[in-house]
Amino acid sequence: MKKIFFATVLLLVSIVSFAQQPADKIIGNWESIDGEVKLRFQIFKQEGKYLGKLLWASNMFEADGKTAKKDFNNPNKTLKTRSRQGIVNITNLKYDDDEYKGGKLYNPSDGDTYSLNAKLKSENELHFRGYLGISLLGKNNEI
């Protein structure tokens, strides 16, 4: 009986270990720990790529502290009246060789879209590098 119990437990642990692929460890809620603007967003997977939804930003609200600012800097005129809160502003990140590459980051503060790479340093530490042109001229952000 003990052998059957032990084998069952071992099987369950193996299944749980393989259930979440290493790439999927990025999935969840993240909060920035450096930078002028504090951010909170949710990373999720869709069609084999990783995306991010902006949940909160320290510069997201009007002076009343309650009303979310509109996406008035968006180059797409039809999106200028949408709320900044809840937009999917990280797209197309693909997991490759222990890194997330080829992504795009839309910044509603300036209306620009940046190239984006990321690396999970530990289960609680994620590094982003956003850049225009070449990565060497980019900016890091730790969350």
What is the mean pLDDT, run by run of 10 residues, along the chain of 143 residues? 37 40 92 86 96 95 95 97 96 95 95 95 90 58 49
Q: Which domains does the chain have, with CATH numbers?
A: 22-142 (2.40.128.520)
Give the tens place of pLDDT for each residue, 120-130.
998 889 998 99
Note the pTM of the prediction, 2 decimals. Answer: 0.77
pLDDT at residue 134, rounded to an integer: 54
Q: 119-128, long-range: CB within 8 Å, 24+ apart, which pairs?
A: 120/25, 120/26, 123/25, 126/26, 126/30
Half-sphere exposure of residue 138: CA atoms within 13 angstroms, side-chain side = 20
Quick one: DSSP state of residue 69? Answer: P
